Amino acid sequence: MDIITGYTGSPHVTAEQDRDVNIGIFGAESYVLRTGSRLKAEVSSNNEIKVRDGVIMHQGCAASIKKNTYDSLTIANGSQGMKRVDLIVARYSRDQNTKEESLVLKVIQGTPKESGPAVPGYTTGDIQAGDLIADMPLYQVTLNGLNITEVKQLFATQDSIAELSSNLANIKADLIKANNSLNVIGTEYWSGVKNNYSYSTKETWVNNVSTVTIPAGTYAFTLKAAPCTKGQSYDAFTMGITGINSTRTQNTFYMNFGNGFYPTLTSTCIEKVPAGTYGIAFWSSQPRNVNSIELRAIRIK
């Protein structure tokens, strides 16, 4: 292993190592970084485009135009009655003999046509694989006759790590906010199954046998219970949810299953409720043992 960011007594850091570090941070693609004027293109005349200061990261290779300066690019004359598309690229090149590398702006001229001119080709290249040329398209320049009519940006910009962290934090906050506001429609809250609950004293309300805690909203409440034995004639078994409706004693929504009930009993009501804990309440004319007690609340608004 070779140290990169450390003093060894002699020059030792290679361009390839430096690019690998940048690729590990920014990725292997090509970007303009969010600094300076971000290589903004300005049409100075029909034969000149100025590219303002900024920094590019081209397959890990960094290059810049100094702050408060620009690179001037010459656009060849257009032709009367003809259309043309040129490309402005950042071209990496390496001399095969001297191994010297450069990264400069270059105009690739297109072919004039009366209509539908093609965008000229460029060399994609792979710098780290050893290719001698690798182009990064920056702008597409359209000429109609003698005039430049459009300069279209082709590159993507890359946020700094601080900006990315801030964006992620904002996205997380927005997701939490959205989740809370929905809270979430369709979410089911459930009390869990309770078996062999003994209702030992007849004609007495027992509240909150199973409970759910829910935020404010409109819910479809479902109650379910299965008495262990069949009821006798004229027996009464009533089940409700505490805290919902005040039509009877115990502030309970009643579900009276009447005489001779059979397992399993299920009933549903829809109510708009404030945030709180709600539970199943029982009233029966006889002592009971009850299985499969559940309270479900599905938010619908």
Element (H, E) at 123: none
- Give alpha helix (H) positions in 183-296: none
Instruction: Report the predicted TM-score, pTM, of the whole model to 2 decimal places.
Output: 0.58
Beta bridge partners of 250: none
Identify the three-state secondary structure at position 84: strand
In terms of Cβ atoms closer than 10 Å to its own Cβ (0-12, 13-18, 19+), residue 5 is exposed
Per-residue pLDDT of the chain (301 residues; tens, 9 = 90+): 888 888 888 888 888 888 988 888 888 899 999 999 999 999 999 999 999 999 999 999 999 999 999 999 999 999 999 999 999 999 999 999 999 999 999 999 999 999 999 999 999 999 999 999 999 999 999 999 999 999 999 999 988 777 777 878 888 877 766 666 555 778 888 888 888 888 888 888 888 888 899 988 888 888 888 777 766 666 777 778 887 654 333 444 545 544 455 567 777 888 888 888 888 888 887 888 888 889 999 988 8
